[in-house]
Structure 1
Amino acid sequence: MIRLYTALLINKLEFHRRNPRFPGHLGVTADELESIAGNDINNYFEMTIEMFDYLDHVLDLQEAVLGSLNMARSNSMTSAGQCRLSPLIPCIQDASKLYDYCVKIMFKLHMALPPDLLAGHRDRFMKQFKSLKKFYENTSNLQYFKDLIAIPPLPDKPPNFLIMGDFRTYVTQEVVVPQEPEHDDEPITEGSLIDTTDDSAVENHSASNVSLSSVAHQEIINEREFLRAQCMK
């Protein structure tokens, strides 16, 4: 899972390096997507391949994560289970955007190029559609995700890119992450005109904080070295 997650992060960085106009969250409007591609069919063709590659990394990671859990038990609410599942939230968000763009670009490609030329694109899309639909269904059934993210279901059948009528009925499905309520009003605390602080207690507390900070720093170093060793395998 660490290797697959690292591969996904590297692919994401490479994608943004090649396509700097995509923000980190991948959210762009239809006009912005057209502008990024320069409304050039060759750019659309290459961009779809890059998005397919990106989505493959997401699907490989989710398969490994969900495959490591016993889906018949409620271990999505244990600390170990949540540690494995938490990276899937940004994966779901990215996958939703990538799927939406792939659908729209695929219709554009089929309006401009012969269907035979796009047979490989269609086969790859259909395979990813099945995996993504299963990914959404599995995560929607886990209690861990219930209050963290709203995952829209994919349609029962994938879009038919050979029928332009399917494009007119296609609707973008948005993944929603609930926002925590903002607390503008800070609690009012009563002040004191007399300093009753115990200096010795403060010194002991400061020393304790320094000790804890040193331990935390060493743990971070150890974790970094462990991840580096994993990536070198």
Structure 2
Amino acid sequence: MKKWIALSGALMVLLLTGCAQPKKPYDYTAFRASKPASILVLPAANTSPDINAAHSLNSLVTRPLAEAGYYVFPVAVVEETFQQNGLTSGSDAQAVSAKRLDEIFHADSALYISISDYGSSYRVIDSVTTVTAKARLVDLRSGKEIWQGSATATDNDQGNNNNNGVIGILVSAAIKQISDNVTDKAHTVAGLTSNRLLAQNEQGGLLTGPRYKVVSAR
């Protein structure tokens, strides 16, 4: 009987460990071959209900890109250039060919961002602010995609530990949603999403660029 229990336990461990497959490292072959030094951030394509989502996320992605060592074209100037040419939405701007973008901006690469979630949603016992985005980097000299990634962030990853009963939870959720709308918490969460999306990590992210400098502590 003891042998059977031991055998069953060993088999269970084998099954559990067999299910956990190691994550395959991101393939940066195309990225390394491209060696982009400058990035043109195109106006984001927004499918979320919030009309401010594209402006919010576009204003935040510049920092992680610059900190990673890339020259980033000023997003306000880029947006104004498109608008002066009648391209008022992110989808319109992203429809311009890589060749044409290269001719206009002379950038090594262009970052295409799409936003699917942005803002707070009221649930039965909570209010959650979520920002989800996907991105891909295209070499404008060749027109080839050299990187892609996705990320999501919320203000409620830790869950709700409120112990004030159902009524208390409902009231807290309603107050939290109102507060989120007033303070535009989605913009703060978008900053976390942009860092998760672009910073190099176990999910992929961008490799550091030619201007990247490691500041050593003295």
Please give the range of the TM-score, normalised by the shorter of the 2 chains: under 0.3
TM-score (norm 2): 0.23
Name the structure with the higher strand share: 2
Structure number with greater Rg is: 1
Name the structure with the higher helix share: 1
TM-score (norm 1): 0.22
Q: Identify which of structures 1 and 2 has the higher relative contact order when contacts are C-alpha pairs closer than 8 Å and 6+ apart.
A: 2
